[in-house]
Amino acid sequence: MKRLHFLFSFAAIFMTAPLPAATDSAQEFEQLTLERDQAIAAASDRYRAALENLQQRATAADDSDTVTRIQQALAKLAPKAVEPAPDTKPEFLGTWKFYNHADRHRALVELNGDKTYSEKGQRIGSWEVVEKQLIISYDHMDGNQDRYNLPVRDNKLGGRNKIGHTLTLTRAN
């Protein structure tokens, strides 16, 4: 009987233990893809900023041909951020259970309508939607960002942070 109890206990522990993340190759692929996406986004942001700066200088210099070319180049860039229609509430607003799979950090967080990200009622960052990603930027973490893929599926958002940790937001209410 003790042996049977041990087997049931072992099975229960095994079934509730987190599954291994993935193979080393899969983790490396995810990390490389994340780094590529971040590099592309950063380069695109720098290019946009440089074009906007150049556009101001070309406008001041009355160089209408260059201004037109810059406007065309800016129009070809992906939009900076996708804003929801003013009369719609983004599906991800509200209270969420945050979980970092790497360090097992858990927190109850809020995504607020004023584009702030908070914990225990205190602002800790801001959010924006870029293409099909919810991006959370932390105020005091040296530019750290969490990126979650939209839309919400089964009341969950899955994502990664800049250092490659897998993250999950699960709707709290």
pLDDT score for 5: 42
Could you tell me the two tokens for 29?
């692929």
Cis peptide before 20, with omega less than 30 degrees from 0?
Answer: no
Pick the more confident residue, 49 or 160. 160
87-112 pLDDT, tens digit each: 546 788 899 999 999 999 999 999 99
Residue 65 pLDDT greater than 80, yes or no: yes
Could you tell me the two tokens for 146?
């969490």
- CB neighbourhood size of 41 (10 A): 17
**CA 143/CA 16 separation, integer angstroms:** 35
Using only C-alpha atoms, the chain has a radius of gyration, in whole angstroms, of 22
pTM score over 0.75: no
- CB neighbourhood size of 143 (10 A): 7
Residue 147: pLDDT band with limits 50, 70, 90: very high
24-64 pLDDT, tens digit each: 777 777 777 777 777 777 777 788 888 888 989 999 999 98
Residue 72 pLDDT greater than 50, yes or no: yes
